[in-house]
C-alpha cells in the first residue's frame, strides 16, 4: 500500500501536466503570431474568372509592370475625391481624416490638407441639421482614354485624367463641366505599408500632386470649389446659365 498514490496527489500531478502543456501551446501561438503581424508588405493577388462551362479560378502574383494598376488607382482616386452620395454618411466615411478615410490613406499630407480646404468638403462637414440635398457624380469617357500619361514634362508617375463632373444641388440647380486633372503619384514601395491603411491603400501609392489643367496649364479650378462661382443673392429659380458644359 506504500506505492499507492493518493487522489489529491494524482490530481495535483495531472493539473501540473495540463498547465505545462498549456504554457507550451501558448508560447508556440505567441511566436506564430509574432511572425505573422504586423505585415511588413502585403502581397497582392488578383482573382480572375472566365465565364465558361468549366470555370477556372487562378491566383497570380502582381506583375512587375504596375502602370495598369496605377491608372486604375488614379481613376478611382478622382472618383472617390469628387463624388458626393445621396447618403452623406457614406461620403464622410470616404473623406474622413481617419484610418478608414480613402482620401486620407491615398494622399500625402499636403494634398489632403488642400482637399480639406475646398468648399464642398466644408459644406459636407458643416454643423447643420438640415440635409445637404446635393449629389455629385464623376463620369469618364468610354474606353481607356480617360487616364493618360503626362508627356509635357518628364514627370514620373504623372497622369492626366479626363472626366465630366455633374452636381445637382437643390439651392442652385445643375452644374456640369468637363475637367482635365493632373495627378502625380508618390510610390512608397520601399517603405512598409501602414497596417491601418492596408485595406484602403494596399498598393502603397500616394497622390503627391493634384491640379486642374486648362490647355495643359495648371489653373486654380478645383471641381470641389465650383460652388463659389454661384451668386446666391440672385435668388433665381431658373439656373440653366450655371450648366457650363464645355
DSSP secondary-structure letter at 203? T
Dihedral sign (CA 240, 242, 243, 246): positive
In the prediction, which pLDDT does 234 show? 52
In the prediction, which pLDDT does 189 show? 55
In the prediction, which pLDDT does 246 show? 30
In the prediction, which pLDDT does 241 show? 38
pTM above 0.75, yes or no: no
Locate the domains of the chain by residue range: 64-242
Q: pLDDT averaged over consecutive 10-residue blocks of the chain (246 residues)?
A: 63 84 91 71 61 52 72 92 90 85 90 93 77 89 82 82 92 88 77 64 84 88 85 46 36
CATH node for 64-242: 3.10.450.230
In the prediction, which pLDDT does 151 show? 80
In the prediction, which pLDDT does 242 show? 39
In the prediction, which pLDDT does 95 show? 92
In the prediction, which pLDDT does 233 show? 54
CA distances (Å), 70 to each of 74, 139, 190, 246, in order? Answer: 6, 19, 16, 28
Q: What's phi and psi for 219, nearest 5 deg?
A: -135, 160
Direct distance between the N- and C-terminal alpha carbons of the chain, in angstroms, rounded to an integer: 104
Q: Which grid cell sits at 1?
A: 500500500
Cβ distance 67 to 57 under 8 Å? no
Amino acid at each position: 500500500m506504500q506505492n499507492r498514490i493518493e487522489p489529491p496527489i494524482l490530481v495535483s500531478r495531472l493539473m501540473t501536466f495540463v498547465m505545462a502543456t498549456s504554457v507550451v501551446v501558448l508560447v508556440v501561438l505567441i511566436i506564430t503570431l509574432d511572425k505573422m503581424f504586423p505585415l511588413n508588405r502585403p502581397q497582392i493577388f488578383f482573382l480572375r474568372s472566365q465565364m465558361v462551362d468549366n470555370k477556372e479560378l487562378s491566383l497570380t502574383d502582381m506583375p512587375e509592370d504596375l502602370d495598369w494598376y496605377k491608372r486604375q488607382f488614379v481613376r478611382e482616386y478622382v472618383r472617390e475625391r469628387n463624388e458626393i452620395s445621396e447618403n452623406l454618411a457614406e461620403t464622410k466615411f470616404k473623406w474622413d481624416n481617419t484610418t478608414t478615410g480613402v482620401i486620407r490613406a491615398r494622399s500625402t499630407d499636403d494634398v489632403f490638407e488642400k482637399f480639406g480646404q475646398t468648399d464642398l468638403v466644408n459644406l459636407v462637414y458643416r454643423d447643420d441639421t438640415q440635409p445637404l440635398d446635393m449629389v455629385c457624380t464623376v463620369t469618364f469617357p468610354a474606353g481607356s482614354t480617360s487616364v493618360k500619361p503626362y508627356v509635357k514634362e518628364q514627370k514620373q508617375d504623372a497622369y492626366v485624367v479626363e472626366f465630366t463632373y455633374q452636381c445637382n444641388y437643390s439651392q442652385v440647380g445643375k452644374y456640369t463641366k468637363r475637367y482635365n486633372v493632373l495627378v502625380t503619384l508618390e510610390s512608397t514601395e520601399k517603405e512598409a505599408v501602414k497596417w491601418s491603411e492596408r485595406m484602403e491603400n494596399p498598393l502603397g501609392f500616394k497622390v503627391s500632386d493634384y491640379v486642374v489643367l486648362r490647355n495643359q496649364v495648371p489653373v486654380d479650378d478645383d471641381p470641389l470649389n465650383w460652388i463659389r462661382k454661384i451668386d446666391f443673392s440672385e435668388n433665381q429659380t431658373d439656373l440653366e446659365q450655371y450648366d457650363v458644359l464645355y
